[in-house]
């Protein structure tokens, strides 16, 4: 598959290792223990090819995909009308079919507006063909006690693709929150765990 500058063609805690042992982050949550809140958000893209737009990220069909149509980095913006608490963002990618269109370096950002976005996670992927669960807490280990990230705006930034591909394919994106509030009595304003030592050490998954 050509993806250069030319034309396009066609659980419990003990069971999970530390993030530094993972190239693809695996969540200890079963998806049925989370609630998907993406329908609450307004979605926008940095670019798209006609017929392969934002609707393909949310159509529950792994055979369709968003295809970017511009220069890197490629962006998916997920903006909520009120602050939400997110545990993980999951992306379906398919290297077997998409090859050089498949992301290999992704950064998740969060903030209140576009002007104050901060990096949460940078992950590097190796030929993934499945759901990739990117957990957002700053904990060394992800558990049911992990603190979700509170923000209005989440951004998925595709920084590079496999085989130095130019444009990207993402087939689905889901945004997961806890089913029940985890910290109902916590009035802290520090909703985004950017500065813990564990976060700094494990921010990039290799």
Strands 74-86 and 118-124: unpaired
Provide φ and ψ at 96, rounded to 5°.
Answer: -60, -35
The C-alpha atoms of residue 138 and residue 119 are separated, in whole angstroms, by: 12
Q: What is the pLDDT of residues 83-127, one digit of tens each?
A: 999 988 999 999 999 999 999 999 999 999 999 999 999 999 999
**Domain-by-domain residue ranges, the chain?**
13-179+191-205
User: Could you confirm whether domain 13-179+191-205 is CATH 2.60.120.260?
Assistant: yes
For residue 92, what pLDDT is reported?
97
Residues 6+ apart with CB under 8 A from 52: 64, 65, 66, 67
For residue 6, what pLDDT is reported?
46
Instruction: Give the predicted TM-score (pTM) of the model.
Output: 0.74
Please report which helix (H) or strand (E) contains residue 198, including its range: helix 197-202
Please report which helix (H) or strand (E) contains residue 69, including its range: none
Q: What is the pLDDT of residues 130-173, one digit of tens each?
A: 999 998 875 545 566 667 899 999 999 999 999 999 999 999 99
Cis amide prior to 73 (ω within 30 degrees): yes
């Amino acid at each position: 598959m050509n993806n250069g500058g030319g034309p396009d063609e066609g659980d419990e805690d003990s069971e999970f290792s530390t993030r530094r042992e993972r190239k693809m982050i695996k969540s200890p949550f079963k998806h049925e223990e989370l609630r998907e809140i993406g329908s609450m958000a307004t979605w926008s893209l940095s670019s798209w090819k006609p017929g392969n737009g934002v609707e393909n990220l949310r159509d529950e069909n792994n055979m369709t995909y968003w295809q970017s149509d511009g220069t890197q980095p490629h962006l998916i913006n997920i903006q909520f009308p009120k602050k939400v608490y997110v545990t993980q963002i999951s992306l379906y990618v398919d290297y077997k079919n998409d090859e050089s269109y498949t992301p290999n370096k992704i950064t998740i950002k969060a903030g209140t507006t576009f002007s104050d976005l901060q990096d949460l996670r940078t992950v590097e992927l190796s030929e993934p063909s499945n759901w990739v669960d990117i957990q957002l807490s700053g904990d060394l280990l992800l558990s049911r006690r992990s603190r979700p990230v509170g923000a209005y705006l989440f951004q998925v930034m595709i920084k590079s693709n496999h085989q130095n591909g130019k444009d990207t394919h993402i087939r689905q994106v889901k945004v997961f929150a806890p089913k029940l509030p985890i910290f109902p009595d916590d009035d802290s304003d520090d909703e985004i765990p950017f500065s813990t030592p564990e976060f700094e050490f494990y921010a990039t998954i290799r």
